[in-house]
Structure 1
Amino acid sequence: MRNFKYLVLAFSAVLFMSPAFSEERIVVKDGATTLDYEELADTVTRWTPQMRRAAIQDEGDRLELINLALANKKLAAEAEDYVANNPDLAVEYRNGLLAYQRDFMLRSVAARVEMPDFTELAKEQYTVNKDKYALIPERRISSHILFSSPPGRDRTELTAEAQAVLEELRAGADFVEMVTLHSDEPGAENKQGKFNRWVAFGEEGVSPRYSQGVFSIEKVGEYSEIINSEFGLHIIRLDGIQEKSYKSFDEVKATIINEMETEYRRLAMKDFISQFQMTDDVIIDEEAINAILEPYNATE
């Protein structure tokens, strides 16, 4: 164990302080299993920043991470021996490798797609699709009186009571006083009935019925009709409107360009993959394919 710790400490000095060493240099050796500089350095690139900090700062964590890398290589070697001794698993093993090789190739090609400068096209998209990329929707703030009623309960009498209160408010009754007298919302009196949140139409986390009620009011200071929600009945007063506006191009530029780059990469990958589709010279053994599919005829 002492020799292993010494080797790991030497590796740490090499890896984190002075990387100018031969890529073939063995930095960890345990029996027949070795990790050379290049493969271990590649493993470190795939550690999280937290893992790298731990490897630098704590010898115990460093040993654990090196041990994991070594164990992975041992397991890979064990897989080769295991399949050699269990030939019935060879096809499954080969297909698993093929899947990794395919993903590896696609990731490598995708990472190397050269992107054009999309700035001018992004400006054009900003102008043409301003609502999509830059719209800040109208937001409203409100107050309300809640007449609490569980879902499913008959609300006929409660509706009449709420309607009477609404008529008093429209006739000039003091809203805060009516909140104190009638609202069933916890803390309504202290809040003076305020719904202390600016909301957009249909905003998540706000009852859809309440949202619709807020946006049905034409002018600040006016009241909605009686609004039915899952919480009961509401009389809503509109307290303020923030008109819709737009973010500047600079604020959304990165989002637009990222979207364009994603689509460009997708099309580039589609074009790349098309090279590997079946050719006109393909030969298909239909008899063999039918035999493979036959057991599934009755179950699929």
Structure 2
Amino acid sequence: MKKQLLHAAVAATLLGAVSMAAHAQNIAVVNGQPVPKARVDMLAQQLAAAGRPVTAEMEPQLKEEIISREVFMQEARKQGLDATDDYKAQLDLARQAILIRQLFTNYTKTHPVTDAEVQAEYDKFVAANAGKEYKARHILVESEDQAKKIIADIKKGAKFEDIAKKQSKDPGSGANGGDLDWANPSSFVPEFSEAMIKLNKGEMTQTPVKSQFGWHIIRVDDVRQAQLPKLEEVKPQIVQQLSQQRLQKYQEDLRAKAKVE
């Protein structure tokens, strides 16, 4: 009899321990259905991935959200909505999206961008943007005659900035008196760049410059050596760009190799 009582006590203790462990893995039991803590963890991960890290103060809100979802899901099943064709079609699309996202995430994780690749991309950027930068202004008009008249007016004393605000077709720079800010010559169309780099500080084109956008009057306000960011400052952007390019190439390769009939 004592042995039987002992066995019963041990069994009760073990059952209690198992029950406590199971309860620790769940945040609640809704209508007899356990709600696992893993759902809260997954929701927190999704929010963090979207740029909204979960703080300790937010955890009760996440728990209530997961419990509410369980309540609503149970009611939907009770009404038989999980058996409808519309639900099944949407579920199939959702499964595809999740699996594809996992595929791309795994590819990015297993094919990281190396420091050597980042350095090579940065060197290309430096080579393309090194040299001089120009702080220029321009006035863009539709006809050559109009541009010639503006040049003549400026020579007579009219203010470049005022004419740009009133007559320039370029709404972005026109509102700022034609100001294009500091830029590398490669930022502009070839005709514009070729005319601009011939000017010294304070000089204006003496004849209109034609481009695909119309006729330009260009003035250079200042010239300096290019101010390029250091590698450490742009490394995250370079990594992201190279990762996206690599992932796009992977997608294109998969599509090209697929047998589609």
Smaller-chain TM-score range? 0.5 to 0.7
* 1:89-168 correspondence runs (5 A): 89-90=84-85, 92-113=86-107, 114-115=110-111, 118-126=114-122, 130-131=124-125, 135=129, 138-142=132-136, 160=149, 163=152, 165-166=154-155
Measured in 1, the distance between the counterparts of 2:253 and 2:136 equals 53
| Aligned twin of 2:10 | none
Q: CA deviation at 1:222?
A: 2.3
| Aligned twin of 2:182 | 198
* 1:126-275 correspondence runs (5 A): 126=122, 130-131=124-125, 135=129, 138-142=132-136, 160=149, 163=152, 165-166=154-155, 178=157, 183=162, 195=179, 197-201=181-185, 215=196, 217-225=198-206, 237-244=219-226, 252-268=234-250
| Aligned twin of 2:45 | 45
Paired letter, 2:152: Q
Measured in 2, the distance between the counterparts of 1:164 and 1:270 equals 56
1:69 and 2:66 matched = yes
Which ranges in structure 1 are unaligned for 5 or more consecutive residues? Answer: 1-20, 169-177, 187-192, 285-300
Bigger drift between 241-250 and 38-47 goes to 241-250
Q: CA deviation at 1:80?
A: 3.4
- Contact kept, 8 Å, 1:135 with 1:247, in 2: the verdict is no
Pairwise CA RMSD of aligned residues? 5.1
SS of the aligned residue for 1:112 comes to helix
Measured in 2, the distance between the counterparts of 1:274 and 1:24 equals 49
Q: CA deviation at 1:70?
A: 1.8
Matched residues, number: 220
SS of the aligned residue for 2:221 comes to strand
Measured in 1, the distance between the counterparts of 2:131 and 2:196 equals 12
Paired letter, 2:99: M
- Contact kept, 8 Å, 1:222 with 1:238, in 2: the verdict is yes
- Contact kept, 8 Å, 1:33 with 1:70, in 2: the verdict is no
Which ranges in structure 2 are unaligned for 5 or more consecutive residues? Answer: 1-20, 166-176, 210-214
Tell me the TM-score normalized by structure 2.
Answer: 0.55
Paired letter, 1:221: G
Measured in 2, the distance between the counterparts of 1:238 and 1:196 equals 10
Tell me the TM-score normalized by structure 1.
Answer: 0.49
Q: CA separation of 1:50/1:218 partners in 2, compared to 1, >3 Å: closer, same or farther? A: closer
Measured in 2, the distance between the counterparts of 1:155 and 1:266 equals 45
Between Structure 1 and Structure 2, which shows a larger proportion of helix residues? 2
Measured in 2, the distance between the counterparts of 1:253 and 1:47 equals 25
Q: CA deviation at 1:111?
A: 2.5
